Amino acid sequence: MNLDDSAIAQYHDQGFCITDQLLDAGECEEIVDAFNQIQDRLMLGSDEDGALRYQPMLFDRSETLTGYIVDPRILEIMAELIGPNVRMYWEQLVAKPPQARTELPWHQDDGYAPTDPPGYVTCWLALDDADTSNGCIWVIPESHRDGIYPHRMDGPNFRNGIDGFAGDTRGIPVPIRKGQALLFNSLLFHRSGPNTSDTNRRAWIIQYCDAAARHGNSLEELDDRTWVIQAGKFLTKPYSERPMDVGKVFANWTPV
């Protein structure tokens, strides 16, 4: 699935764009079922506010998830936005159950998981319809142009926020339908609100980077990240040169 010229221009100019329908409803449910079969999960936020279910880096424990990581419909987009050599940088399911009031404040993904150079691509794949009632993503257009801002850590659950930044009138909601994807630059300011509805808001967030990028803090090679495109060839069997230590990755998620 290729992006048209207007979507590519919007991504570069404003820092984000929305795809057409990427997956059908059955495929979205297949992804949800694959995550449900894996018991490992973390929680974000507090029980009082309604915690969010969080399942990071589990794709290699499911043939179904691995298949979608290298789905040509997604890789075609990454080849257009990144180039001929691409690694999968990170993936995570974030599920906001009905009436979960936990919010994630304005932040940049590069603010806690930076690459050098910065600016990888986040594919925020909606597994349910997402709108302002159930916690869709809000963005500040063009905010990806000014580099990485200092971030703070709000407690133990990686609820990062941009230091001294409470909000901005330029922020806009980006509602999308089940099976669509919101694509945004990892430098873009974004946030998500509470789920005040009686429906789920589940999203699979898959991030891809240029294979030549390095870790933004240590400048180490990202050879623990998964190859998905090599010299323009889409890989059906993704791999990395060494296994990822997810605990170490979490330990290095410190505000910059």
Residues in contact with 49: Cβ distance below 8 Å, sequence separation at least 6, in sequence order: 100, 101, 102, 194
Q: Is 65 helix (H, G, I), strand (E, B) or coil?
A: helix
Local mean pLDDT, 10-residue blocks, the chain (256 residues) = 90 98 98 92 68 88 97 98 98 93 87 92 98 96 92 58 74 97 97 93 98 93 97 97 85 56
Q: Tell me the one-letter amino acid at 102.
A: T
* Global confidence as pTM: 0.93
The CA distance from 32 to 29, in Å, is 5
Label residues 5-22 b or e (16+ Cβ within 10 Å = b).
eebbebbeebbbbbbeeb
What CATH superfamily classification does 5-251 receive?
A: q2cbj1_9rhob like domain (2.60.120.620)
Pair 237, 86: CB distance under 8 Å: no
Residue 52: the pLDDT is 78
The CA distance from 8 to 256, in Å, is 29
Q: Is the peptide bond before 117 cis (omega within 30 degrees of 0)?
A: yes
Residues in contact with 107: Cβ distance below 8 Å, sequence separation at least 6, in sequence order: 151, 160, 161, 162, 189, 190, 191
Residue 155: the pLDDT is 53
Q: Is 75 helix (H, G, I), strand (E, B) or coil?
A: helix
Give the CB-side neighbour count of residue 205, counting CA atoms within 13 A.
19
Residue 215: the pLDDT is 92
β-pair partners for 230: 233
Residue 154: the pLDDT is 59
Q: Which of 139, 148, 122 is nearest to 209 (CA)?
A: 122
Residue 79: the pLDDT is 97
Residue 255: the pLDDT is 45
Residue 121: the pLDDT is 98
Residue 104: the pLDDT is 82
Instruction: Please report the sign of the dihedral spanned by the C-alpha atoms of residue 224, residue 3, residue 28, residue 43.
Output: positive
Residue 86: the pLDDT is 98
